[in-house]
Amino acid sequence: MELNVNTEKGAAPGAPVLKIEHLHISFTQYEQGLRREQMTVIRDLDVEVRAGEMVAVVGSSGSGKSLLAHAVLGLLPYNASAGGKMEYCGSELTPDRIEKLRGSEIVMVPQSLACLDPLMKTGHQIRKGRTDKRTKNKLKEIFRRYNLKESVEELYPFELSGGMSRRILISTALIEEPKLVIADEPTPGLDLKVAKRAMEHFRELADMGAGVLVITHDLELALETVDRIVVFYAGESIEEAKASDFKREETLRHPYTKALWRAMPRNGFQPTDGVQPYAKEMPEGCPFAPRCRLCTAECSKEIPWRELRGGRVRCLSAM
Ligand SMILES: Nc1ncnc2c1ncn2[C@@H]1O[C@H](COP(=O)(O)OP(=O)(O)OP(=O)(O)O)[C@@H](O)[C@H]1O
Ligand SMILES: [Mg+2]
C-alpha cells in the first residue's frame, strides 16, 4: 500500500528527529481548596528518536508516558508546567513550531478513544475534510488493511466498537505524511493479528525515514518490531536498551527493567514486591530503591546516566 513520509526537508537517516533532555512536568494543585501546591509528576526524562528508528517507551501506569506525548504535541493540561529541552529535527520545538507541525509532520495516535470528535463522521475525521482522490484512495487502503468496511466512513464515533475506534485513531495518523509519529497505547482492544498489523504499519513508516515513538504496556508485542526501548519509572527514564537486549534477563541493566522482563507472559508473569512511589512521596535518589534488592546507602544520592554494554542506565549496581 502507498505510505508517504515527508522527506523534503529535515532529518537525514539516523539523525535525531526528536530529542528530549531533562523533561520535567509539574501540576499546580489546590489542597483543600486553598493551599496552592506543585506536584512534580515527570522529574527527569530523556528520549531520543532518530530518522528511520522505532522506539518504544515502556513503564508502569502513571509514570508519565502520556504526559510525555502531550508535551511533544503541545497538549499539556492548563495546570501543567514543563521544563527541559525538546528538539525536533535539530532545533528547538517551540510552541509556535508545534502548532504548525501538529497533525501533519508530527502526528499522534492518542491513548483515549474520547479524542474522536463525537459529532463528525469517521471518514471526514480521518481525511480532515480533504476530498481529493489520492486521500480517498489512501483511506480505502488503510481500511482494507484494518478490516474496516468502506461504510464505516459514514459512521459516527458512538456507532463504533472499542476496537473499531482504536483502528480509526490509528488511521487518522497514518493518512498523513509524518516525519514523527507518537502512538500512545495504540493497540489495547485490538485482536493480536490487527495489533501486529498496526505495529508493522508503524515499522514501515520508520523504514521509510520517519521517527516513530510507541508508548505501550505490551512489551512482548513491541519487541517484535521496535529497535530500542526506553524504560520509565516514576517519572524518570532509567534505561535505554536495544530490543535484542530483552532476549535474556542478563543482557538488561536496571533492576526495574529486569523486573519488567520477569513479568512478561513468556517469562512466567513473575511479580515484584512493592509499588511505584506516589509523586508526592518520592524517595531521594533512585525511585526504585525501596523495591530494590541491590539498594545501598549510595542510592539515595543523585544517580547519573552511565553507558553500559551498548545501552544506558541510571543505576549504581548495574553491571
Ligand atoms: N491534569 C492533571 N492534573 C494532575 N495530575 C495529572 C494530570 N494529568 C495527569 N496527571 C498525573 O500525572 C501522572 C502521569 O500521568 P500519565 O497519564 O502520563 O501516565 P501514564 O504513564 O500514561 O499512565 P498509563 O500507563 O496508565 O496510561 C499520573 O499520576 C496522573 O495522575
Ligand atoms: Mg497513558
- Average pLDDT, 10 consecutive residues per value, the chain (319 residues): 49 88 91 80 95 94 89 92 95 94 91 89 92 92 90 94 89 89 91 89 90 94 96 95 97 96 93 88 92 94 95 95
Q: Confirm or reject: Cβ of 28 under 6 Å from ligand 1.
A: no
Looking at residue 7, what is its pLDDT?
44
Looking at residue 31, what is its pLDDT?
74
Measured in Å, residue 220 CA sits from the centre of ligand 1 at 23
In angstroms, the CA 232 to CA 236 distance is 5
Helix orientation angle between 162-174 and 133-145, rounded to the nearest 10 degrees:
140
Closest C-alpha residue for ligand 1 atom 24 = 61
Looking at residue 4, what is its pLDDT?
52
CA 72 to chain centre: 10
In angstroms, the CA 63 to CA 83 distance is 17
Q: Confirm or reject: Cβ of 317 under 6 Å from ligand 1.
A: no
Looking at residue 8, what is its pLDDT?
44
Measured in Å, residue 111 CA sits from the centre of ligand 2 at 6
C-alpha cell at 189: 482492544
Q: Confirm or reject: Cβ of 63 under 6 Å from ligand 1.
A: yes
Mutate to test the pocket of ligand 1, among 67, 219, 281 (most ligand atoms within 8 A of CB): 67
Q: Confirm or reject: Cβ of 64 under 6 Å from ligand 1.
A: yes
